[in-house]
Amino acid sequence: MNDAPILSGINTVADVDSASDFEKKHLPHIACVRDGDRVAVTVIVGHLVSHPNQPDHFIQWIEVHAAGTPVARFDASAVAVDPILTCVLNIDAGTEIAAMENCNLHGAWLATAVAP
């Protein structure tokens, strides 16, 4: 049984190094690799601590926004899907990238990064 709180709103983590395992399970991890004009953006949920992937507790979706504009979305099944999204964006260095995910029990979680 999961005893973590059910959260509302959009959750963020100010300091990943001091985050709890509960926070680490949910906080999207953003990795960016530039190749010329393009940036490959990979978002992983459960990068530091694995998130459950069961019919009663799973990551429902992941979204990527670039400079405030939605650019990619992944709707996940509760079975046999790792909560990972990779997309390739044609964006300038310095563009803010936001990744948000939604856990069916623990709500929305947001992380940001800056494009290299």
| Identity of the residue, 7 or 87, whose beta carbon is nearer to Fe ion in the bound complex | 7
For position 106 contacting Fe ion by CB under 5 A, the verdict is: yes
CB 81 within 8 Å of CB 39: no
Smallest Cα–Cα separation from 110: which of 51, 40, 47, 45?
Answer: 45
Stretch that binds Fe ion, among 15-23, 42-50, 71-79, 97-105 (CB under 5 A): 97-105
For position 103 contacting Fe ion by CB under 5 A, the verdict is: yes
C-alpha span between 2 and 14 (Å, rounded): 24
For position 108 contacting Fe ion by CB under 5 A, the verdict is: no
DSSP percent split of the chain into helix, strand, coil, nearest 5: 10, 50, 40
| Identity of the residue, 57 or 65, whose beta carbon is nearer to Fe ion in the bound complex | 57
Task: Output the DSSP codes for 38-61.
Answer: EEEEEEEETSSSPPP-BTTB-EEE
| Identity of the residue, 22 or 32, whose beta carbon is nearer to Fe ion in the bound complex | 22
Stretch that binds Fe ion, among 28-36, 76-84, 85-93, 96-104 (CB under 5 A): 96-104
Binding site for Fe ion (CB under 5 A): 103, 105-106
